[in-house]
């Protein structure tokens, strides 16, 4: 058990190390540096003053870009560990960590809720699709669900926005709460937030439902061929009990592994949904920062995404032995 926990923690640490290194090296491998980009943007906006070369030298010194590479790398690792991600260039001198953390609750709330709903619904639907005695309605319902799973979340979001936001305007199409409203911890605010989350959430749920259903169906089909199912039938157990306790229970295990593996894809998809609906989470902030060429905010958000996924995966991994004790014992 201890070996398992240590291995999972080691894996998460490795992921973070690689993410940090990638984050450090990619911008530095490319021609040009952030100072050049910022100054170019400033001069394009008419903000040039004095000698550009001097300005660039001073800025590089302040950002530590004139230090040797290994030194920059070490101080980058140290700063990241202290959550010091630099300051925003576009809304100077707001720290990057402040911008990033302000978006976090929105993304976690939207993505967490949507993923939970689609995972549960999709898993049940998939299991029923494989169950010979399931109602025929489900088999018909499964086709559109599987077809929708082919479509990227945000493209489905565009269509939903046009249908339910513009053509038949029942739901708000942009933002996380009504424009110009001060949020209070009361029911009215909570309802307003929930209303704004419906369209982006629905896009994620509808587009990811089919993925879980297809995977679960495959698993249940496999499990239903096992000998212990035949034994359960021979014992005369009820259909419902065989399905729930023997079929569903055993097919569920790989589904949790799939959830852990798909977290990255889920987050990537959800980011784009936020962009489409101008939802004030991490993804929309990333989009804005890219538009403003706010390099440090972009790097900060990118790092946070990797950290969040590594963290979520670690939690899933550590919970996994509770559902499948064989894992901790090293048998699976």
Partner 1 sequence: MKALWQFSRREPLVPLGLLLLLVLATLSLAAPLIVDPALAGIGATAARRPPSAAHWLGSDTQGRDVLASLLAATPQTLEIGLLAGLIGLAAGGVLGLLAGWFRGVVDAIIRTACDVFMTIPAIAVLVLVGTSVRSMTVGLMAIVVAGLSWMVPARSIRAQVLSLRERPWIDVARLNGQSSLAIIFADLLPNLAPFLAASFVISVSTAMLATVGLEALGLGPQNELTLGMMIYWAQYSGAILRGMWWWWVPPVVALALIFMALLAISLGLDRIVNARLRSDL
- Measured distance CA(214)–CA(292) in Å, rounded: 40
- DSSP classification of residue 242: I
Instruction: Choose between 8 and 87: whose C-beta lies nearer to partner 1.
Output: 8
The site for partner 1 (CB under 8 A) is made up of: 11, 14-15, 18-19, 22-23, 26-27, 29-32, 129-130, 139, 142, 146-147, 149-152, 154-155, 158-159, 161-162, 166, 173, 214, 217-218, 221-222, 225, 261, 263-265, 267-269, 271-272, 275-276, 286-287, 290-291, 293, 295, 298-299, 302-303, 305-306, 309-310, 313
Give the angle subtended at the CA of 326 by the CAs of 320 and 330, to the nearest 5°.
100
Radius of gyration of the chain (CA): 24
Instruction: Choose between 87 and 301: whose C-beta lies nearer to partner 1.
Output: 301
The minimum distance between CB 249 and partner 1, in angstroms, equals 19
The minimum distance between CB 325 and partner 1, in angstroms, equals 22
The minimum distance between CB 150 and partner 1, in angstroms, equals 4
* Residue 87 φ/ψ, nearest 5 degrees: -115, 155
Instruction: Choose between 246 and 287: whose C-beta lies nearer to partner 1.
Output: 287
The minimum distance between CB 190 and partner 1, in angstroms, equals 27
Instruction: Choose between 96 and 142: whose C-beta lies nearer to partner 1.
Output: 142
Instruction: Choose between 162 and 329: whose C-beta lies nearer to partner 1.
Output: 162
**Is the CB of residue 83 less than 8 Å from the CB of residue 97?**
yes
Within the chain, residue ranges assigned H as helices are 2-29, 34-44, 52-63, 69-81, 96-130, 136-148, 153-160, 187-224, 227-234, 239-241, 249-276, 282-291, 295-323, 325-329
**Is the CB of residue 33 less than 8 Å from the CB of residue 67?**
no
The minimum distance between CB 53 and partner 1, in angstroms, equals 20
Cβ-based burial of 234 (10 A; exposed 0-12, middle 13-18, buried ≥19): exposed
- Measured distance CA(193)–CA(149) in Å, rounded: 26
The minimum distance between CB 19 and partner 1, in angstroms, equals 5
Instruction: Choose between 86 and 191: whose C-beta lies nearer to partner 1.
Output: 86
The minimum distance between CB 50 and partner 1, in angstroms, equals 25
Instruction: Choose between 1 and 162: whose C-beta lies nearer to partner 1.
Output: 162
């Amino acid at each position: 058990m201890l070996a398992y926990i240590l291995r999972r923690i080691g894996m998460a640490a490795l992921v973070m190390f690689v993410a940090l290194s990638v984050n450090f090296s990619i911008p530095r491998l490319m021609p040009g540096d952030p100072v050049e980009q910022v100054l170019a943007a400033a001069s394009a906006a008419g903000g040039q003053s004095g000698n550009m070369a001097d300005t660039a030298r001073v800025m590089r010194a302040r950002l530590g870009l004139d230090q040797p590479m290994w030194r920059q790398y070490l101080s980058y690792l140290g700063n990241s560990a202290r959550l010091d991600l630099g300051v925003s260039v576009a809304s100077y001198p707001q720290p990057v960590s402040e911008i990033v953390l302000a978006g976090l609750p929105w993304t976690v709330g939207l993505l967490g809720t949507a993923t939970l709903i689609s995972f549960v619904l999709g898993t049940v639907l998939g299991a029923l699709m494989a169950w010979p005695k399931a109602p025929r309605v489900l088999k018909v319902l499964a086709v559109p669900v599987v077809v929708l799973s082919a479509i990227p979340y945000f493209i489905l979001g565009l269509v939903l926005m046009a249908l339910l936001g513009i053509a038949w305007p029942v739901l708000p199409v942009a933002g996380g709460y009504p424009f110009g409203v001060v949020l209070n911890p009361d029911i009215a605010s909570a309802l307003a937030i929930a209303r704004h989350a419906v369209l982006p959430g629905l896009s994620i749920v509808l587009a990811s439902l089919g993925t879980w259903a297809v995977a679960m169906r495959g698993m249940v089909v496999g499990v239903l061929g096992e000998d212990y199912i035949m034994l359960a039938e021979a014992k005369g157990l009820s259909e419902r009990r065989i399905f729930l306790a023997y079929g569903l229970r055993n097919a569920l295990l790989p589904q949790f592994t799939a959830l852990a593996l798909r977290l990255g894809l889920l987050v990537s998809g959800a980011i784009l949904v936020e962009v489409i609906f101008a939802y004030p989470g991490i993804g929309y902030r990333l989009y804005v920062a890219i538009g403003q060429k706010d390099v440090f905010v972009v790097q900060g958000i990118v790092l946070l995404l990797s950290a969040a996924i590594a963290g979520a995966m670690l939690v899933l991994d550590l919970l996994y032995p509770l559902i499948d004790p064989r894992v901790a014992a090293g048998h699976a």
